[in-house]
Amino acid sequence: MQRTLQPELLDSLAPSDPAAIQNRRDLRITNAIMGNHRWFLHELPRRLQPGETVLELGAGTGELGLGLNQRDVPVDGLDLWPRPVDWPVGRAWHRSDLRTFPSYSSYAGVIGNLIFHQFPDDELAALGAAISPHARIVVACEPARRRISQRTFALVAPLLGANAVSLHDAHVSIAAGFLGDELPLALGLSAATWKWQCTATTLGAYRMIAVRRDR
């Protein structure tokens, strides 16, 4: 299954659109079933060094970053959407495009949950070039690119009340997902400088942990 990108419907909706609100509810259920947030909450606290701050790309509603901050992991958010009302006081929220964000040098850790798959390889390479000179660790959870995942979601999601936006975006997100070493290589991470671990779960998650060798 070749990696292909198509526009996601959510990107065309305002945050207050009822379909976008329903999609956020569907994403919470998807993340819970796949265990995405639990995985970040387990992995990040034990991998960060004292004094390191994390930037979450595509932070959205802020739920992942909020959970990490509650675990004493300092996380700032980056997204085109407005700052969530419950975002922690004292933690930054950058309302910016991650492709042109100017302050990656401030962050030793960069994380993304279901965000990297939205970009073609050339933009991933540019993003990696912006992140890699400064970051010590990059952690990502994305869709694993499997047809069985598309079929399973199409069958199960309507039973959980998923709307048309969620059904469409899940299908195209899985088609744009990753397998093997595709994500670190697309980001241009050099094996001489970075060591990484990429795994795919039975529930359709692709997970990458990349750590610089020299820090």
Taking only the tens place, the pLDDT of each residue in 183-200 is 999 999 999 999 999 999
Q: Give the CA-trace dihedral at 59, 62, 68, 72, to 10 degrees.
A: 110
pLDDT of residue 5: 96
pLDDT band at 215 (very low <50, low <70, confident <90, very high): low
The CA distance from 186 to 80, in Å, is 23
> pLDDT per residue over 121-163, tens digit each?
999 999 999 999 999 999 999 999 999 999 999 999 999 999 9
> pLDDT per residue over 19-41, tens digit each?
999 999 999 999 999 999 999 99
The CA distance from 125 to 167, in Å, is 29
pTM for the model stands at 0.94
* pLDDT average, residue stretch 66-86: 95
SS (H, E, C) the chain: CCCCCCCCHHHHCCCCCHHHHHHHHHHHHHHHHHCHHHHHHHHHHHHCCCCCCEEEECCCCCHHHHHHHHCCCCEEEEECCCCCCCCCCCCCEEECCCCCCCCHHHCCEEEEECCHHHCCHHHHHHHHHHHCCCCCEEEEEEEECCHHHHHHHHHHHHHHCCCHHHHHHHHHHHHCCECCCHHHHHCCCCCCCEEEEEEECCCCEEEEEEEECCC
CATH 3.40.50.150 assigned to 9-212: yes
Q: Can you read off the two tokens belonging to residue 142?
A: 């994305």
pLDDT of residue 108: 97
Q: Domain spans of the chain?
A: 9-212
Q: How far apart are the first and last CA of the chain?
A: 36
Burial of 127 (0-12, 13-18, 19+ CB in 10 A): buried
The CA distance from 40 to 59, in Å, is 13
- Has residue 214 got a pLDDT over 90? no
